[in-house]
Amino acid sequence: MKAGLLWKLILVRGMLKVEELYASYGKGDVIKGINLEVLGGETVAVLGPNGAGKTTLLKAICGLVKTRGKIFFNGREISKLKTNERIALGIAISPEGRRIFPKMSVRDNLLITGSKKLDEIYEIFPRLKEREDQIAGTLSGGEQQMLSIARALMLKPKLLLLDEPSFGLAPIVIETISDVIRKIKERGVSILMVEQNLSLVADVADRIYVLSGGEIVDSGSVGDVMNNKLRLL
């Protein structure tokens, strides 16, 4: 095997590695010593009850909250980097609540990222192409979620963070979101998603972590974690 290829494989293995991570908003830790990994090409889901710290974990990875502990991205420690530096390395987020710009058109919501590569994005989201002139605030909930994911993808991330993509959506629309996530996976993007909808998780996730009270309380394949849950009932 060529040295270059071997090196590439090593790099790809641990795309995201979180070691003994703590996060707080001032008083008390909300994330309490988390260890977590996302390998190259993997889709990993974080499940857990309201207030468990799921959104805080994603914010910590983006540098949007105060942390202690270490975060590595492709072997490089990023724990002290600013958010824009982390984005430049290949991390993008579709945040909780979608955070699109409601008064701007679909196209302008995408172009605001600074990238002009609309065609590649419209391949994954033909619905957004059809509606590119529409004011984003008038899109349906599912379309707004797609726009939020599409905007993150405009940044050409290696790791995409998704915070509850199914939130507030009807089952049929969640299926569309599931198709979109599968298309993103096919393009080799790694995904770390916070999600409470078990059928979406079972559909797309390779592995799961369960977060409760700021700690990882279970992890494994979708099947393993479901079995553990059932045993506790």
Ligand X SMILES: Nc1ncnc2c1ncn2[C@@H]1O[C@H](COP(=O)(O)OP(=O)(O)OP(=O)(O)O)[C@@H](O)[C@H]1O
First-to-last CA distance in the chain? 49
The CB-of-149 to Mg ion minimum distance in angstroms stands at 16
Residues in the interface with ligand X (CB under 6 A) total 11
Q: Which residue bears the tokens 């979608």?
A: 98
Shortest Cβ 106–ligand X spacing (Å):
26
144 interacts with ligand X by CB under 6 A: no
By CB under 6 A, the residues from 26 to 55 that bind ligand X are 30, 48, 50-55
Angle at 189 between CA 41 and CA 115, to 5 degrees: 165
**The Cα angle at residue 213 between residues 229 and 78, in degrees rounded to 5:** 110
Spatial CB neighbours of 39, under 8 Å, sequence gap ≥ 6: 12, 13, 14, 15, 190
Give bridge partners of residue 201 from the DSSP assignment: none
Binding partner selected for residue 50 from ligand X, Mg ion, none, CB under the kind-specific 5 to 8 Å limit:
ligand X
User: Smaller CB distance to ligand X: residue 49 or 137?
Assistant: 49
Q: How far is the CB of 200 from ligand X (least distance, A)?
A: 15
Residue 84 binds: one of ligand X, Mg ion, none (C-beta under 5 to 8 A by kind): none
Minimum separation from the CB atom of position 96 to ligand X (A)? 6
Least spacing, CB of residue 191 vs ligand X, in Å: 17
* Residue 51 or 171 having the CB closest to Mg ion: 51
Q: Which does 165 bind (CB under 5 to 8 A by kind): Mg ion, ligand X, none?
A: none
Is residue 92 a contact partner of residue 152, using CB atoms and an 8 Å limit?
Answer: yes
Site of interaction with Mg ion (CB under 5 A) = 54-55, 96
Q: Which spans of this chain sit near ligand X (rule: CB under 6 A)?
A: 25, 30, 48, 50-56, 96
